[in-house]
Amino acid sequence: MVMDKMNDGTLTDSLMEIYDLLYKRFGPQNWWPAETQFEVIVGAILTQSTSWRNVEKAISNLRTAGVLSLDGLLETDIDKLAELIRPSGYYNMKARKLKAIAGFLSENSGSDLDSLIKRPLDEVRQDLLSVYGVGPETADSILLYAGGLPSFVIDAYTRRIFGRLGIIPEDLSYEKARTFFMDNLPPSAQLFNEYHALIVRLGKEMCTSRNPKCNLCPVKPLARESSFCCNRA
């Protein structure tokens, strides 16, 4: 597998080449689509296994109800929260998760994250992972898009796209996939931000079938334009 060729420079060049191809095709994605750091965090919870369109409805409901703030989440009854975020699905679970992250923020940083992001990335990440409802993807989304820290976000699209390009195994574990990208890219929050957003942009156009031979898959033209094209190997 290509990922074995680590630290020889080729891999970094190829990952940057793919980034450039995506950027030229789609342009800047201006992520995260939120007004404040706090709203990024709320969105990161609500978007779990849910399309952003439905998350927007839930966030709009929270805003209209005047509870889209740290104090708002802390003071609002959990059943009321669940009702407001109903459009985002899993509303009972996510209401409990919003309460948990709100409790964490009130004890550790406040909604601005200032005291949190001063600390080493790995420490903050571990603390976030200890919060109910915050798994690795949500933690990295918060670190990157709310905190501006260089923590690469892996999602289903990342594994599907780079798996089909033959760069990583499609079933690579989250932590190994994250380590792979972070070991082979310069640690730039701006780069990680745009890269992940572009991956999602391409991922939305992919067929969701698991058939790697699908000729409609836009990853194929991407491969032909990059050094990972099997025809060039």
Partner DNA sequence: GCCCAGGGGGCTC
Partner DNA sequence: GAGCCCCATGGG
Q: Which residues bind to DNA, rule: CB under 7 A?
A: 31-33, 43-44, 47-54, 86-87, 89-94, 131-139, 141, 145, 155-157, 171, 173-174, 200, 203-204, 208-210
- CA dihedral (75, 143, 196, 137) in degrees, to 10, reads -70
Tell me the C-alpha to C-alpha distance, in Å, between residue 126 and each of 109, 119, 135, 139, 191.
Answer: 15, 11, 10, 9, 23
Three-state secondary structure of 163-189:
HHCCCCCCCCCHHHHHHHHHHHCCCCH
- Cβ closer to DNA: 145 or 228? 145
**By C-beta, is 54 or 179 nearer to DNA?**
54
| Chain centre distance of CA 104 | 20
Between residues 14 and 163, which has the closer beta carbon with respect to DNA?
A: 163
Q: Which is nearer to DNA, 204 or 224 (CB)?
A: 204
**Least separation in angstroms between CB 75 and DNA:** 21
Residue 27 and residue 194: Cα distance in Å, rounded? 9
Q: Collapsing DSSP states into helix, strand and coil, what is residue 155?
A: coil
Q: Is 33 or 229 the residue whose CB approaches DNA more closely?
A: 33
CB of 177 to DNA, least distance (A): 11
CA dihedral of 39, 107, 83, 86, whole degrees rounded to 10: 50
- The least CB distance from residue 128 to DNA, in Å, is 9
Closest distance to DNA from the beta carbon of 12 (Å): 25
User: Which of 116, 154 has the CB closer to DNA?
Assistant: 154
The least CB distance from residue 198 to DNA, in Å, is 12
Please give the structure tokens belonging to residue 192: 């990680």
User: Nearest distance from residue 217's CB to DNA, in Å?
Assistant: 13
Query: Which residues touch 24 (CB under 8 Å, ≥6 apart)?
Result: none
